Amino acid sequence: MYQYHCLNQISDVGIQEFSEEYVPVSRVEDADAVLVRSASMHEMEFGGRLKAIARAGAGVNNIPLERCAEEGIVVFNTPGANANGVKELVIAGMLLASRDIIGGINWVQENEEDGNIAKDTEKAKKAFAGCELDGKKLGVIGLGAIGVLVANAAVSLGMDVYGYDPYVSVDSAWNLNRSIRHAKTVDEIYKECDYITIHVPATESTKGMIDGNAIGLMKKGVVLLNFARDVLVVEEAVIDALVAGKIKHYVTDFPTPVITGVKGAIVIPHLGASTEESEDNCARMAAKEIRSYLEHGNIRHSVNYPDSDMGFKGENTRILLLHHNIPNMLGQFTRILAEDNINIADLSNKSKGGYAYTMIDIDSEITQEAIEELKAVKDVLKVRVIR
Ligand SMILES: NC(=O)C1=CN([C@@H]2O[C@H](COP(=O)(O)OP(=O)(O)OC[C@H]3O[C@@H](n4cnc5c(N)ncnc54)[C@H](O)[C@@H]3O)[C@@H](O)[C@H]2O)C=CC1
Ligand SMILES: O=C(O)CCC(=O)C(=O)O
């Protein structure tokens, strides 16, 4: 039996991926796996049972990745599974910033009792006129799953699109529309574009990247869109720029006490991935990742351990070791197994940064003493045996 805990509401489509061997539990401490969306896990204690956390979404800044790695907990996310949902809302955000759709709808609601509303509309509407996206320059910072979709959709809308991503993956590069201009520096985006949208993860190096200096380089009347994370933008600098008319609108998916209610800020309550399709895709992918790891030891889409796949666990016993990425770990494992007269049928050893993952298939049983010896090896963080 495997036990899982959901820290947020997770789509039933994902939960249905679990077989009858999986039971929900109400406490994280009792879980083998946790499914989470945006709930913050930084202050949580995990206990010794937890083996995997699956973030049903992309951003993992709500999870203490390093602490999890040190505790031998593999953290997964679901890359790309909600990208289309976010892309569509970014396009909506650009439209809301270009034409005063919100002001216009509010006017209609305020005048709902007006028996002459059809006639009065024709007089009032000039207050809500705007501009079109066609022909405007859009800068996309971060060309991952979401950035690529936004950039390509904007091309279809007739926009002149610039993309900036110094770490762009080969897949993303292949998927980009050929007409998208390659910005070699982020400053080029700031200086050239009428609309700027950011799609980078929140990390120590990206936090506060849109600050007063960056805004200083932007065109007067620029529209800034943030569907990535609030901390990427220095909100006080944005407010100054909104007041000065330097930024026309700041469209953000992240309400904070600082930005909410500010004139010119269009604040959406984190709805980017809140579509049936995105929620189902993320939940399904997260549940599959957990099953594959718990039942077979395979890791796919982890953000703190290397991906590693030895296929379905067959008749053999599978030993899984999560450890620091340092020399002579394999030597110690194979010595312990050899001393127990165990034959290795298959082996994989993968690393990612400071952490490594070794999977060993053996064609006999392993004694509890040998397991304890493997656990006692310095720099081993967790040992699992799947029989
Ligand atoms: N509003 C919402 O509901 C959602 C928000 N997000 C946020 O959007 C972010 C991006 O999501 P995805 O596109 O799915 O992630 P992704 O991992 O596919 O793409 C991120 C891209 O940013 C690039 N990048 C990293 N640092 C950069 C820098 N300094 N300058 C330029 N590019 C840089 C990477 O090379 C990568 O191509 C997530 O980390 C998350 O914070 C994601 C999904 C839903
Ligand atoms: O689960 C959600 O609604 C949040 C999505 C998100 O921000 C992400 O995937 O990074």
**CATH number of residue 327's parent domain:** 3.30.70.260
* Interacting residues of 21 by C-beta distance below 8 A, sequence separation 6+: 1, 2
Q: What is the pTM of this model?
A: 0.96
Q: Could you tell me if the CB of 38 is within 6 A of ligand 2?
A: yes
Q: Could you tell me if the CB of 80 is within 6 A of ligand 2?
A: no
User: Average pLDDT in the 26-39 region?
Assistant: 97
Q: Confidence class of residue 174 from pLDDT cuts 50, 70 and 90? A: very high
How far CA 203 is from CA of 62, 162, 372, in Å, comes to 11, 23, 37
**CATH number of residue 141's parent domain:** 3.40.50.720
How far is it, in rounded angstroms, from Cα 67 to Cα 71? 6
The closest-lying atom of ligand 2 relative to the alpha carbon of residue 37 is: 1
Total tally of structural domains belonging to the chain: 3
How many angstroms separate the alpha carbon of residue 1 from the centre of ligand 1? 36
The SS3 of residue 152 is helix
Per-position DSSP letters for 207-249, written without gaps between them = TT-B-HHHHHHSPTTEEEEE-S-GGGB-HHHHHHHHHHTSEEE
295 and 249 in a common domain: no
Task: Write down the residue that tokens 């320059």 correspond to.
Answer: 137
123 and 31 in a common domain: no
How many angstroms separate the alpha carbon of residue 328 from the centre of ligand 1? 36
User: Average pLDDT in the 270-290 region?
Assistant: 98
How many angstroms separate the alpha carbon of residue 255 from the centre of ligand 1? 19
How many angstroms separate the alpha carbon of residue 59 from the centre of ligand 2? 6
87 and 12 in a common domain: no
256 and 343 in a common domain: no
pLDDT digits (tens, 9 = 90+) for 94-152: 999 999 999 999 999 999 999 999 999 999 999 999 999 999 999 999 999 999 999 99
How far is it, in rounded angstroms, from Cα 209 to Cα 16? 40
118 and 39 in a common domain: no
Domain range for 75: 1-81+276-305
Query: What residues line ligand 1, using a CB cutoff of 6 Å?
Result: 57-59, 79, 82-83, 86, 141-147, 164-168, 172, 199-202, 206, 227-229, 253, 270, 272-273
- ipTM, 2 decimals? 0.99
242 and 171 in a common domain: yes
Q: Confidence class of residue 47 from pLDDT cuts 50, 70 and 90? A: confident
Position 42 pLDDT exceeds 90? yes
243 and 107 in a common domain: yes
Q: Could you tell me if the CB of 274 is within 6 A of ligand 2?
A: yes
pLDDT digits (tens, 9 = 90+) for 262-277: 999 999 999 999 999 9
- Residue closest by Cα to atom 33 of ligand 1: 142
Q: Which of 305, 325, 356 is at the close of a domain?
A: 305
